[in-house]
Amino acid sequence: MTLLQAMYIPPAVRGFESTAPAGAVFDVAWVGEHVTTIEPCAPGTEAQGLLLPTLVDLHLHLDKTHTVHETGAANGDLFRAIEMIAQHRETWTEADLRRRMERGLQACWRSGVRALRTHLDWMGSERPLSVKVLSDLRTQWRDRLDIQWVSLTALDQFDNTTWARGMALQVKSMGGILGCFIYRNDALKRKLQSVFELATELDLDLDFHVDEGLDVDAQGLRTIAELTLAHGWQGRVVCGHACSLSVQPIEQARDTLGLLAQANITLTALPTTNLYLQGSWSETPVQRGITRLQEARQMGVRTCIASDNVADPFFPYGCYDPLEAWALGVQMAHLAPAQDWLDTVTVAPAQAMKLAWDGRLAPGCPADFVLLSAHDGLQAMTPAGRHRRIHRQGHWL
Ligand SMILES: [Zn+2]
């Protein structure tokens, strides 16, 4: 038996009942790969660390990563970033993709990530090279990382129904999830309707880039919620970004979020990329670009925070550490107390990815931990507090 003494376990990741006060600490014991007991320590025992389950990153772009030194950075212009990556995509080879994606996976692994979902651009008529490379890497990493992928296409491409069906069939056969990028498109509802028809016909989950901008009139999120309900696709849809929600009147935003809750849609905030791409670049920015996480949670929407782009024209900085994204999200969206939002990078994305373990720590769960130096949520907001040891499959890494 192995034992960790006096661990602070945030209530957001507890899968066990405890009458101990919120700040209580616990002794956690395990045998082999599974937790056996979690027992409260005597009142007043000082915490020796903050214990989390291993992390889950719900939204990445492994095909674009580590390109910024060749593309340059888009300095806040999303559509410029899309052009920059489109040009660079022409140069992608299997070897280059493998090297960059592998570098991303290594970084995830070292951060304490156990599962991740990446979007892969799918623009042309052929299946992109990145899908094959990812599929190889998924096999290679299967004992360490649970990897899911989503096709990322511009919504307008779904107007070409023959092309879209061919693409969706290949996504299905390669074990992917269907996705697209939606922003104030003409005939938005009709085009989204074809996406939902393909998803329901082929039994595919959906993951959208939606309303990634600060225009009040963006209606993608709301339309997706309505179509999810109309097609009975509850629990099968994830929406990332939804920046526009932050500039819409609060009553309207709450109304949309109510629909999301009803449709069991997961909402993913991407603080790093939103802070970089949204808001002014010609003067000091005032708008933050992050979606309404607080209201979403109040309305009962499953909320996640993820890393999104790393070292590409969309976000030239960054790293593959969900806890960095969490800490930025806490500051951008005034999420308090911070520890109550640690489920956004653990339990909530695990549920959205339908992983076998939802990430709640409890007797019987995997002994897969991230042990932080922090003794509480406030310290976890500091770089020193986020120093960590990772326990996976019976070993400290
Ligand atoms: Zn993204």
Does one domain contain both 217 and 366?
A: no
Q: Which of 337, 352, 367 is the last residue of a domain?
A: 352
Ligand 1 centre distance from Cα of residue 61 (Å) = 6
The pTM score is: 0.97
Task: Tell me what pLDDT residue 23 has.
Answer: 81
**Same domain? 28 vs 117:** no
CATH number at residue 29: 2.30.40.10
| Model pLDDT, residue 181 | 97
Taking the centre of ligand 1 as the mean of its atom positions, its distance from the CA of residue 300, in whole angstroms, is 23
What confidence tier does 246 reach under pLDDT thresholds 50, 70, 90? very high
Identify the pLDDT of residue 53: 98
Cβ pair 387, 61 in contact under 8 A: no
Q: Considering the chain, what percentage of its residues have pLDDT values greater than 90?
A: 95
Spacing, Cα 183 to ligand 1 middle (Å): 13
349 Ramachandran zone, left/alpha/beta (phi>0; psi -120 to 50)? alpha
pLDDT tens sequence across 96-125? 999 999 999 999 999 999 999 999 999 987
Residue 37 DSSP one-character state: E
Q: What is the reported pLDDT for 186?
A: 94
Is the bond preceding residue 322 a cis peptide, omega within 30 degrees?
no
User: Is residue 29 domain-shared with residue 175, that is, in the same domain?
Assistant: no
| 44 and 193 in a common domain | no
In the predicted model, what is the mean pLDDT of residues 14-27? Answer: 89
Q: Same structural domain for residues 377 and 288? A: no
Q: Which domain holds residue 48?
A: 2-53+359-396
| Cβ neighbours around 261 below 10 Å, total | 18
Runs of H (alpha helix) within 8-73: 68-71
Rounded distance from Cα 181 to ligand 1 centre (Å): 9
Give the Å distance between the CA of 44 and the centre of ligand 1: 44
pLDDT at 22 over 80: no
209-224: pLDDT as tens digits: 999 999 999 999 999 9
Q: Span 353-362, mean pLDDT?
A: 98
Q: What is the reported pLDDT for 1? A: 77
Residues 22 and 129 in one domain: no
- Is 194 in the same domain as 253? yes
Mark whether 327 and 197 lie in a shared domain. yes
pLDDT digits 0-9 by tens, 62-101: 999 999 999 999 999 999 999 999 999 999 999 999 999 9
| Per-residue model confidence (pLDDT) at position 21 | 81
CA of 357 to the centre of ligand 1 (A): 25
In contact, 390 and 397? CB cutoff 8 Å: yes
* Same domain, yes or no: 48 and 140: no
Separation of alpha carbons 242 and 270, rounded Å: 9
- Please provide the average confidence, as pLDDT, over all residues in the chain: 96
Q: Are residues 69 and 81 in the same domain?
A: yes
| CB atoms inside a 10 Å sphere around CB 159 | 15
Same domain for 20 and 10, yes or no, is: yes
Q: Which of 83, 126, 212, 251 is catalytic?
A: 212
**Distance from the CA of 375 to the center of ligand 1, in angstroms?**
32
Q: For residue 41, what is the DSSP state?
A: P
CA of 273 to the centre of ligand 1 (A): 8
Least reliable range by pLDDT among 41-45, 221-225, 259-263, 353-357: 41-45
212 is catalytic: yes
Say how many domains are in the chain: 2
Average pLDDT estimate for 240-266: 97
CATH number at residue 277: 3.20.20.140
> Cα(19) to centroid of ligand 1, in Å?
40
Q: Are strands 55-60 and 49-53 parallel, antiparallel or unpaired?
A: unpaired
Q: Which two tokens stand for residue 120?
A: 């892969």
pLDDT of res. 124: 83
Same domain, residue pair 132 and 164: yes
